[in-house]
Amino acid sequence: MILKDWVLQMEAGGFVRRRRMTADTSSGDAAVAGASAGEEIHWFGGRFWGVSESLIGTLTPRIAGETELHVGHFYGSQEASDFSEPDYEGLPQGASTSTHMLAGAVAGIMEHCLMFPIDCVKTRMQSLQPEPAARYRNVMDALWRIVRTEGIWRPIRGLNVTAVGAGPAHALYFACYERLKKVLSDIIHPGANSHLANGAAGCVATLLHDAVMNPAEVVKQRMQMYNSPYRGVLDCMRCVWQQEGALAFYRSYTTQLTMNVPFQALHFMTYEYLEELLNPQRHYNPSSHMVSGALAGAIAAAITTPLDVCKTLLNTQESLALDSVSQSGRHITGLGHAFRTVYRLGGLPAYFKGVQARVIYQMPSTAISWSVYEFFKYVITKHQHEKRRIQRDGEK
């Protein structure tokens, strides 16, 4: 595709830009898609910007040694020295590490908070020996019965510890992924996107994410179980510490990694592949981010469900399951022990308990995570660019 002219202009709120392109016929669809994406975010962005401008300004300090945002070259009669608005597809490479961390933290907290009730259902449906009152036909039946018999707030019990863990975990997760993706892509396939680099970067980022998130997962899942004996998060943490020791918070860490490394490899590779198909020019396009994220999450979630069942068993140390295999008073330790216990209690079908709830949880979860992350990355980077433009104009 040959672009003859690029014209960038800001609308009244300074938030949406449009491109005027003259190209061959095959570029028409891309131009329409870009304009459509701009219209989609105009209404939401115009209102959100007024509230978040002061917050973003105070929460985006530059990390020592970080480089300034690199503005891409523009072609035509415009001089390269002119201070013009950068293209969105240039922002992921130019955005600072602090931008990735802040956008990732917000995305992680929103993802886990919005989807927490479904996560509660998933944990219960993965129970190997559930109480008669905690046997559910499907996700909606589980939600309805939990609310009706245990109270409206029961599905979000343990939300606070999840939100506290999700912020720093996802900040490290996205920052590590963005940095490694670029470094590895330059090594494996210079000047182009490498799916192998995307998968490898996602695997390494998972190590940091799970190291922070695993203790929160243990507390969260114990509080989500039916007839959970804990009064609150602090009571749960104290009981686990006193009765099982500090290592109990990381008993499922190796299983979590064994599950999340292939999960994230599939997740990131599928997401980047779908983005190439749906959004080849990598514009800011909320619909493509949501669709790509949802499909990537669903595929990865379905494939890794057996490992998630084992992780839940290791985290919860389900008492009825222990009694059924004559291990009352003992603990299930290690992935191999968990795999054998699951098979003894339910055979092969047991490895896919809760797969429906897991996929239903993961699809909107990853869609929310990616769309919120891409939006905040766009907004924060644009805000930083505008501040530099104003400072530059003030010096003239």
**pLDDT, tens digit, 9 for 90 and up, residues 194-245:** 888 888 998 999 999 999 999 999 999 999 999 888 989 999 999 999 999 9
> Are 3 and 21 contacting, i.e. CB atoms less than 8 angstroms apart?
yes
How many other CB atoms are found less than 10 A from the CB of residue 352? 16
pTM summary value: 0.66
Helix (H) or strand (E) holding 10: strand 8-10
Q: Which two tokens stand for residue 103?
A: 């956008």
CA angle 303, 249, 136 (to 5 degrees): 50
Per-residue model confidence (pLDDT) at position 13: 38
> Are 37 and 287 contacting, i.e. CB atoms less than 8 angstroms apart?
yes
Assigned domain for 44 exists: no
CA distance 172 to 169: 6
Residue 18: strand pairing partners:
9
Assigned domain for 341 exists: yes
Q: Which two tokens stand for residue 58?
A: 């105070």
Q: Which two tokens stand for residue 325?
A: 């295999």
DSSP secondary structure code for residue 63 in this structure: P
Per-residue model confidence (pLDDT) at position 81: 37
CA distance 115 to 364: 8
Distances (CA, A) of 313 to 143, 152, 169, 198: 21, 26, 22, 30
Region 134-151 average pLDDT: 91
Of 54-68, 96-110, 145-159, where does mean pLDDT reach its minimum? 54-68
Helix spans in 95-232 (H): 97-114, 116-125, 139-150, 159-188, 195-224
Q: CB-side exposure of 146: number of CA atoms within 13 Å?
A: 30
* Model confidence pLDDT, tens digit, residues 348-386: 999 998 898 899 989 999 999 999 998 988 888 888 888
Smallest Cα–Cα separation from 213: which of 259, 269, 267, 268? 259
Helix (H) or strand (E) holding 18: strand 17-19
**326 burial level (CB within 10 Å; 0-12, 13-18, 19+):** exposed
Distances (CA, A) of 131 to 128, 145, 231: 10, 13, 20
Residue type at 146 in one-letter notation: I
**What are φ and ψ of residue 204, in 5° steps?**
-65, -40
Assigned domain for 273 exists: yes
Assigned domain for 130 exists: no
Residue 19: strand pairing partners:
8
Distances (CA, A) of 157 to 92, 145, 149, 231, 353: 36, 15, 14, 10, 22
Q: Which two tokens stand for residue 312?
A: 């839940």
Smallest Cα–Cα separation from 357: which of 59, 139, 85, 89? 139
Q: Which two tokens stand for residue 295?
A: 């499909």
Question: Where does the pLDDT of residue 60 fall: very low under 50, low under 70, confident under 90, or very high at 90 and above?
Answer: very low
Residue 95, SS3 per DSSP = coil
- Sole residue written with tokens 């870009």: 34
Assigned domain for 308 exists: yes
Assigned domain for 188 exists: no
Assigned domain for 95 exists: no
Domain ranges, residue 330: 251-353
Q: Which two tokens stand for residue 115?
A: 């989807």
Per-residue model confidence (pLDDT) at position 329: 56
Assigned domain for 276 exists: yes
CA distance 204 to 278: 26
CA distance 175 to 98: 8
> Are 89 and 71 contacting, i.e. CB atoms less than 8 angstroms apart?
no
Beta strand 17-19 with 8-10 is antiparallel
Question: Where does the pLDDT of residue 144 fall: very low under 50, low under 70, confident under 90, or very high at 90 and above?
Answer: very high
Per-residue model confidence (pLDDT) at position 156: 92
Residue 338, SS3 per DSSP = helix
Domain total of the chain: 1
- In percent, the amount of the chain with pLDDT more than 70 equals 74
